[in-house]
Amino acid sequence: MDTDKPLVGVIMGSASDAGVMKGCVDVLKEMKIPSEVKILSAHRTPEQTREYAATAAKRGVQVIIAGAGWAAHLAGAVAAQTTLPVIGIPIDSSPLNGMDALLSTVQMPSGIPVATVALGKGGAKNAAVLAAQILALKYPPIEEEVSRYRKALTLAASERIDSWDDKER
Amino acid sequence: MDTDKPLVGVIMGSASDAGVMKGCVDVLKEMKIPSEVKILSAHRTPEQTREYAATAAKRGVQVIIAGAGWAAHLAGAVAAQTTLPVIGIPIDSSPLNGMDALLSTVQMPSGIPVATVALGKGGAKNAAVLAAQILALKYPPIEEEVSRYRKALTLAASERIDSWDDKER
Amino acid sequence: MDTDKPLVGVIMGSASDAGVMKGCVDVLKEMKIPSEVKILSAHRTPEQTREYAATAAKRGVQVIIAGAGWAAHLAGAVAAQTTLPVIGIPIDSSPLNGMDALLSTVQMPSGIPVATVALGKGGAKNAAVLAAQILALKYPPIEEEVSRYRKALTLAASERIDSWDDKER
Amino acid sequence: MDTDKPLVGVIMGSASDAGVMKGCVDVLKEMKIPSEVKILSAHRTPEQTREYAATAAKRGVQVIIAGAGWAAHLAGAVAAQTTLPVIGIPIDSSPLNGMDALLSTVQMPSGIPVATVALGKGGAKNAAVLAAQILALKYPPIEEEVSRYRKALTLAASERIDSWDDKER
Amino acid sequence: MDTDKPLVGVIMGSASDAGVMKGCVDVLKEMKIPSEVKILSAHRTPEQTREYAATAAKRGVQVIIAGAGWAAHLAGAVAAQTTLPVIGIPIDSSPLNGMDALLSTVQMPSGIPVATVALGKGGAKNAAVLAAQILALKYPPIEEEVSRYRKALTLAASERIDSWDDKER
Amino acid sequence: MDTDKPLVGVIMGSASDAGVMKGCVDVLKEMKIPSEVKILSAHRTPEQTREYAATAAKRGVQVIIAGAGWAAHLAGAVAAQTTLPVIGIPIDSSPLNGMDALLSTVQMPSGIPVATVALGKGGAKNAAVLAAQILALKYPPIEEEVSRYRKALTLAASERIDSWDDKER
Amino acid sequence: MDTDKPLVGVIMGSASDAGVMKGCVDVLKEMKIPSEVKILSAHRTPEQTREYAATAAKRGVQVIIAGAGWAAHLAGAVAAQTTLPVIGIPIDSSPLNGMDALLSTVQMPSGIPVATVALGKGGAKNAAVLAAQILALKYPPIEEEVSRYRKALTLAASERIDSWDDKER
Amino acid sequence: MDTDKPLVGVIMGSASDAGVMKGCVDVLKEMKIPSEVKILSAHRTPEQTREYAATAAKRGVQVIIAGAGWAAHLAGAVAAQTTLPVIGIPIDSSPLNGMDALLSTVQMPSGIPVATVALGKGGAKNAAVLAAQILALKYPPIEEEVSRYRKALTLAASERIDSWDDKER
């Protein structure tokens, strides 16, 4: 595992999605997984999106995470150009609270899957965790990070278990 | 207006959409508007879809009609590659009754519109009528066809106005 | 192309829709497409709406853009009175986030299409772009504007491609 | 109350709605309320629809019932042309199960109400009952019919109260 | 028409609905239609609700308007106890934006209609207009008010028709 | 526990709901829980419904199960008349697939709960299981039945665990 | 009834749900029903959740109330481990306004019911009332509290009945 | 890569899901990826589900695919017990057309992702393709299968591109 080359490509459809996507990038950093971040639009920069997706594997990228709102085609457009696993984050930036982005991302036709996670910030974090779980199958250091992350999550949640009760009484 | 070259490109995401799309092709034929029909998938044949969209204007196509179901990206993928008007038909082929196709087609981001019509067969007919209305601005024979079509529609509807009442009494 | 006469008629159902519709008018101005703007209600001023729609073609209008919220009938009411292409913008002004306006605008019956774009401000801009794409088939200066607009859109998006990444690192 | 002149105008957007609308006409007949039935489309025959609505009051019609599916504008288009009470029946004829017709009918803008009833056949019956309840305020014979109808409804339901239980044991 | 006795009963499910319902009461006052206003809950005060509905006709009330949110049963509970026309206003006070109140109000079973209007404040105004339209069939002074109201609505809308356009240029 | 007197009252809004409700009655019989079954409509037979609910506790009924479709008010109307636990089964008998019944049943206002289970047949069975779980707190023989039922459920599911795999290979 | 041991277990999926769940705890306190409160996640602390559910009955808990948002599995996960009645509160903490939590909580498979109440704060209060109604079947002091609670609710609502009317006139 | 030990665990919530899940198993066989298939319910057999998930990694399973309908908790329950990638297939077996299963599967809380694919049969196939894409990062023979599968998909789609057009003319 060459720590200089990005293993995960993180892309988003618009600069306005950066606030949501930061959750994704932060988790990747926390797990020390090298990544690259780009703003690419399936509709406004289709050539660059295609080029990015078609060359990702050659450049060493192993998982692509794509976040987009509205008629969110980004993850699907990328999945059409590569056989790397593509994770889609539907972003709730439209008046329809993200139902449009969710259906546009998850309802992919037979043969070209997108691994879709939850809407918005929670989904952005989970996309990073899912990418780590995929890479952990191959890279023992990432497996350790995933294991550590889950234990910390459980521990933090466990410590909270009686806290509210105590406060209340 | 060269009647040999297609003015309208009709594409669909899957052979299973052909039943719905026939309504579109039939109206174009009825109005004597030359068209071409192709099955192109934004996800399974992205290169051909891109090539088709990027070269359509040069080949004389002036309006593109794209029908697709599920996470229906076809119309949007085409719209990203051309500045010709693109009409999208959301097809109700998924368990969600086409709500996924409707939102995936209509909720396009700023700058790249898709002219979306109704779901399914009714939308397929209307896509052809809309294409004809657009071409009618430029081609007087098509303007005549559009005018004739509308009059026939109104006449047929007018003749029905008292029919049910008569039957009932 | 007589630059004094409006080629595009922009109408909206209520004065409260003006904020959303400004995005449409601004894009038309940017592309130097002469337009006229009116507040017309399918329900409160049906006669004026009908008169407007029925006489639009004679006055030189070639595309009508109609924005409305709630049970948005404006675009459909206009489409029933003219064979000009009618573009509908569903506005998200009701408690249902515009789902009512979207379905009321797009689900038109067979024979009378409305070219529906996305909800709200993004849709308003796209309605103007779509009108320009339609007029570009006939008017070379507008074709040039459309081409320039798309290139500027792509360029602006391209310049952003690495921006967030740079900021982050 | 002149029994020869229709008190209720029943209209529907398409001949294909006749099956659903029969439930409405049957209840009016059962209550001996004179009615007229027409197929009128807000989009395909807008002039006849307008003419019908604008002259209904003069011809003695006191309540108008309008049934339509998809982007169901019929009731609203009629309500815009008259101050008679207008009852709307959303018909579930589209792939969206009538949600489009319901929202298009009920979400009318301020000042122009449509009295909306349930989707489909149940709604068609109820439109007739509602029209009768409105007319009953003015015509004692209809008040008697309404009272009789409700009593019969309650009686029939009451007789069923123990029936299933008996069958089961 | 005895101007001292209320012709319209306006009820709402909770004191928190008063802001929305004020729009209804204001229109009734503007049209000089005597009304009474009560807070009655189908679930918290079922006896008073039943008593109110069952005695309304005897007390001279001719139309009942009921506004409620969430699982909005108030209009239906009243309709079950009277054959007076009952108008239901679904109020968007729940997290589901009023979709729950709309469906609970409009989807009444066969035989017991509720005349449902739009969600929230717009619907509250329209409930009053609809009640006036119903009473206008019987009371000429109310018919005059309804006619005047519609003319004022159209006039106000007409005066706005060119206003935005002027401002813009 | 007097086995002659019904502990559970099972009611439904319409005879057409009997097919769905049979699943409920069958589970109660299987668990030897005495029950009574009635068809009662919140709208068509409000007096009987009220009477039934108001006297249920006195007659020994301890849990009421109410199934209804469309604007399903039955469970709520009963809950308003008793402090016994009321279980609501939303039935998917309308064109909206039961979303109307679900929201009408579950979204009860503060103070008057309805214990809502899943839509249709699955929900009908679960209403019986839930009633049994409630009664099991008090009646040891029912606790035994509940325990036996769960074990049988788990056993049956466990036996299936490898069956499909075996068939396939 | 041992007032030292909790009869009701109140659990929630996340500390961020505490604001909503306080409504539940407050009603239980008001009715003097001993309860315990814990933060337990079906996904982050599955072992503790399982342990909690599997041992609840032995520790004297008779009803479990579980509140959660998003893909709300908490109530179902608990119901799978116990035959005590489990009440689920869907919390509207996601962009989809709680529709995800509602469907995840209520649509339980055959054999394992969750008694689902309304979304959010109103539902949290009602979960406590429902738990009290269930316990009231067995514990006369709780039956008295439930009866008192309902009377106070009705009285408070009754006192409001004429208040708004008075203010208005 | 030991071809005797299953790399993919395929589980489903109910035997009635087998028809949908066959699409998943068939694709895995076609790609020669060893798999095991089990019927496990998060609610009816929680212990076996937990045991299965907790021991999967040790037994050599590297990806788990879980299909379920209604309040589909299976994928989430498994994801809570392992850090292997878990793919969720929402199955459209309820009256709500699978919207309940989709939201229950995809809207997972922060920290525990489920890689969700499309509804029903299309999703089942895509779950297998996604699992293969994940395993392809590590196992060159599977990478070859994935590459071959994609080429065959594109080729088959390419051969269809003009097919409908030819038939038509």
Tokens of H104: 């229950």
- Are chains D and A in contact at 3+ CB pairs closer than 8 Å? no
Mean pLDDT of A129-150: 98
Predicted confidence (pLDDT) per residue in F119-131, tens digit: 999 999 999 999 9
Res A167 pLDDT > 60: no
Taking the CA atoms of chain G, what radius of gyration do you get in angstroms?
17
Predicted confidence (pLDDT) per residue in G114-154, tens digit: 999 999 999 999 999 999 999 999 999 999 999 999 999 99
Are the C-beta atoms of residues B66 and B35 closer than 8 Å to each other?
A: no
φ/ψ (deg, to 5) at E144? -65, -40
In 3-state terms, chain H is what percent helix, strand and coil (to 5)? 50, 15, 35
Reported confidence tier of residue G5, pLDDT bands at 50, 70, 90: very high
Reported confidence tier of residue F157, pLDDT bands at 50, 70, 90: confident
Predicted confidence (pLDDT) per residue in B2-46, tens digit: 667 999 999 999 999 999 999 999 999 999 999 999 999 999 999
Residue with tokens 């085609």: A73
Q: CA–CA separation, D107 vs C84, rounded Å?
A: 27
Q: What does chain A come to in residues?
A: 169
- CB-CB neighbors (< 8 A) of A91 in chain B: none
- Chain G CB within 8 Å of residue F133 CB: yes
Predicted confidence (pLDDT) per residue in H26-40, tens digit: 999 999 999 999 999
- Chain H CB within 8 Å of residue F160 CB: yes
Are the C-beta atoms of residues A101 and B108 closer than 8 Å to each other?
A: no
Are the C-beta atoms of residues C130 and C117 closer than 8 Å to each other?
A: yes
- Give the B window 36-95 contacts with H, CB below 8 Å: 36-41, 44-45, 48, 70-71, 94-95
Q: What is the ipTM of this complex?
A: 0.96
Mean of the per-residue pLDDT values of chain F: 94
| Residue at F169: amino acid letter | R
CB-based contacts of D130: which residues, under 8 Å, 6+ apart?
D87, D115, D117, E85, E113, E115
- CB-CB neighbors (< 8 A) of C74 in chain E: none
Mean pLDDT of C145-161: 92
Predicted confidence (pLDDT) per residue in C29-42, tens digit: 999 999 999 999 99
Are the C-beta atoms of residues B63 and B85 closer than 8 Å to each other?
A: yes
| Residue at D143: amino acid letter | E
Nearest CA of chain A to the CA of G97: how many Å?
Answer: 8
The secondary structure of H10-45, three-state, reads EEECCHHHHHHHHHHHHHHHHCCCCEEEEECCCCCC
CB-based contacts of H151: which residues, under 8 Å, 6+ apart?
none
- Chain C CB within 8 Å of residue B111 CB: yes
Q: What is the pLDDT of residue A165?
A: 55
Tokens of E52: 């109110």
Predicted confidence (pLDDT) per residue in B99-142, tens digit: 999 999 999 999 999 999 999 999 999 999 999 999 999 999 99
Q: What is the pLDDT of residue C85?
A: 98
Instruction: Name residues of chain D where pLDDT drops below 50.
Output: 169
Residue from F122, F132, F125 nearest F32 by CA: F132
Cross-strand pairs, D66: D11, D88
φ/ψ (deg, to 5) at E115? -80, 100
DSSP state of B17: G
Nearest CA of chain C to the CA of D35: how many Å?
Answer: 25
Q: What is the pLDDT of residue G1?
A: 60
Of residues D97, D118, D161, nearest to F40 (C-beta): D161
Residue with tokens 């019927």: H39
Q: What is the pLDDT of residue E169?
A: 47
Burial of residue B30, with CB atoms counted within 10 A of its CB: 0-12 exposed, 13-18 middle, 19 or more buried: middle
Sign of the dihedral defined by the CA atoms of residues D128, D134, D139, D144, in that order: positive
Identify each DSSP E strand in chain G by its residue range.
Answer: 8-12, 35-39, 63-69, 86-91, 115-116
Q: CA–CA separation, G56 vs G9, rounded Å?
A: 8
Q: What is the pLDDT of residue F36?
A: 95
What SS3 class is residue E87? strand
Nearest CA of chain B to the CA of C50: how many Å?
Answer: 16
Q: What angle separates helix D18-30 from helix D120-136, to the nearest 10 degrees?
A: 30
Q: CA–CA separation, A68 vs B107, rounded Å?
A: 12
Architecture per CATH, A8-162: 3-Layer(aba) Sandwich (3.40)
Cross-strand pairs, H66: H11, H88
Q: What is the pLDDT of residue H164?
A: 61
- CB-CB neighbors (< 8 A) of C130 in chain B: 85, 113, 115
Of residues C13, C81, C107, nearest to D71 (C-beta): C107
Res H88 pLDDT > 60: yes
What share of chain B in percent tops pLDDT 90? Answer: 89
Taking the CA atoms of chain A, what radius of gyration do you get in angstroms?
17
Res C66 pLDDT > 70: yes
- Are chains B and G in contact at 3+ CB pairs closer than 8 Å? no
Count of helices and strands (H, E) across chain B: 7, 5
Mean pLDDT of H59-70: 98
Residue of C nearest to A36 (CA): C165
Q: What is the pLDDT of residue F169?
A: 47
Q: What is the pLDDT of residue A169?
A: 47
F2 versus A146: which is more confidently predicted?
A146
Residue of B nearest to A46 (CA): B80
Q: What is the pLDDT of residue B1?
A: 60
- Are chains B and A in contact at 3+ CB pairs closer than 8 Å? yes
Predicted confidence (pLDDT) per residue in G51-97, tens digit: 999 999 999 999 999 999 999 999 999 999 999 999 999 999 999 99
Res E88 pLDDT > 90: yes
- CB-CB neighbors (< 8 A) of G110 in chain F: 121-122, 125-126
Mean pLDDT of H40-61: 96
Tell me how far CA of residue F137 lies from CA of F34, F134, F147, G57, G115, in angstroms: 16, 6, 12, 10, 15
Q: What is the pLDDT of residue B2?
A: 63
Q: What is the pLDDT of residue B169?
A: 47
Q: What is the pLDDT of residue H169?
A: 47
Residue of D nearest to B160 (CA): D39
In 3-state terms, chain F is what percent helix, strand and coil (to 5)? 50, 15, 35
Q: CA–CA separation, C12 vs F87, rounded Å?
A: 48
Q: What is the pLDDT of residue A159?
A: 81
Q: What is the pLDDT of residue B58?
A: 96
Q: CA–CA separation, B8 vs B61, rounded Å?
A: 5
Reported confidence tier of residue H158, pLDDT bands at 50, 70, 90: confident
Kind of pairing between the strands at D86-91 and D115-116: parallel
Res G163 pLDDT > 80: no
φ/ψ (deg, to 5) at C129? -65, -40
Residue from F112, C16, F87, C114 nearest B117 by CA: C114
Mean of the per-residue pLDDT values of chain H: 94
Res G167 pLDDT > 60: no
Categorise residue C61: left if φ over 0, alpha if ψ from -120 to 50, beta otherwise: beta
Tokens of F120: 């249709």
Identify each DSSP E strand in chain H by its residue range.
Answer: 8-12, 35-39, 63-69, 86-91, 115-116
Identify each DSSP E strand in A49-163 by its residue range.
Answer: 63-69, 86-91, 115-116
Other CB atoms closer than 10 Å to residue E44's CB: what's the count? 24
φ/ψ (deg, to 5) at D13? -75, -20
| H133 with A85: Cβ contact below 8 A | yes
- CB-CB neighbors (< 8 A) of B162 in chain D: 38-39
Q: What is the pLDDT of residue C160?
A: 80
CA F147 to chain centre: 18
Q: What is the pLDDT of residue A148?
A: 98
